[in-house]
Chain A
Amino acid sequence: GIQVEQSPPDLILQEGANSTLRCNFSDSVNNLQWFHQNPWGQLINLFYIPSGTKQNGRLSATTVATERYSLLYISSSQTTDSGVYFCAVSDRGSTLGRLYFGRGTQLTVWP
């Protein structure tokens, strides 16, 4: 199956700082989603972004499908941004769009 690599594995920030999370994938994708896993374990959809750029408030994401990577930008980070950020993709060979997840980036934002 498709390989998904996320970096960095851990990120520690002061409140107000900006950050960039990266997701590299090994093959062409039909679907790419970014999730935030909160302390209760829930997976919150952030972006559905197989290509292009999207913005939602302080968060934005860019996927360059031809170069097989996606970036998640968090600006003016807040303590509530803490948690694990996952990138997940489905490859073009998948029958029904199964998602392959990366290992995540653990973000900790200190006040």
Chain B
Amino acid sequence: EPEVTQTPSHQVTQMGQEVILRCVPISNHLYFYWYRQILGQKVEFLVSFYNNEISEKSEIFDDQFSVERPDGSNFTLKIRSTKLEDSAMYFCASSVGREDIQYFGAGTRLSVL
């Protein structure tokens, strides 16, 4: 069964450093998402992406965050200058259509020291 792939599985970084989290969505999917989950809390929406542009973003997704689909297969989330409170599990998801099932990757656990 096709799956969403995320790398790395765990990223440790120093506060103030830039990180790029990578995702390879399912190949025929058109809608892409990033979510995050702070330890012990619920999963929160960050951003949705369609047709090479951001469709919707939450209040969490401030100027420190950006997304890109650089080559037609990868979908990346960049955090420009990480803060301690960015430590969380970040999930990428994709779907065929706007109202269809979203498939989630296994997540990247980001630890900011």
Which residues of A are at the interface with B, using a C-beta cutoff of 8 A?
30-31, 33, 35, 40-43, 45, 48, 50, 86, 88, 90, 94-104
Contact = CB atoms under 8 A, between A and B. Distances in A.
Interface size on B, as a range, is 20 to 34
Given A99-B35, A103-B42, A104-B42, A42 B106 contact: yes
21 contacts: A30-B99, A33-B102, A41-B107, A42-B104, A43-B91, A43-B107, A48-B101, A86-B42, A88-B43, A95-B48, A97-B31, A97-B98, A97-B100, A97-B102, A98-B48, A98-B56, A99-B45, A101-B35, A101-B44, A103-B41, A103-B42
A97 B93 CA distance: 11
B104 A45 contact: yes
Given A43-B91, A101-B43, 14 more contacts: A31-B100, A33-B101, A40-B106, A43-B107, A45-B103, A48-B100, A88-B43, A94-B56, A95-B56, A97-B98, A97-B99, A98-B45, A98-B48, A103-B42
A102 B37 CA distance: 12
A31 B101 contact: yes
Closest 7 pairs between A and B when the two form their complex, measured CB to CB: A48-B101, A96-B48, A96-B55, A101-B43, A30-B99, A43-B104, A98-B45
A102 B100 CA distance: 19
A33 B42 CA distance: 14
B75 interface: no
Contacts of B50: 96
Nearest to B93: A99
B42 A97 contact: no
Contacts of B55: 95-96
Given A31-B101, A48-B101, A43 B56 contact: no
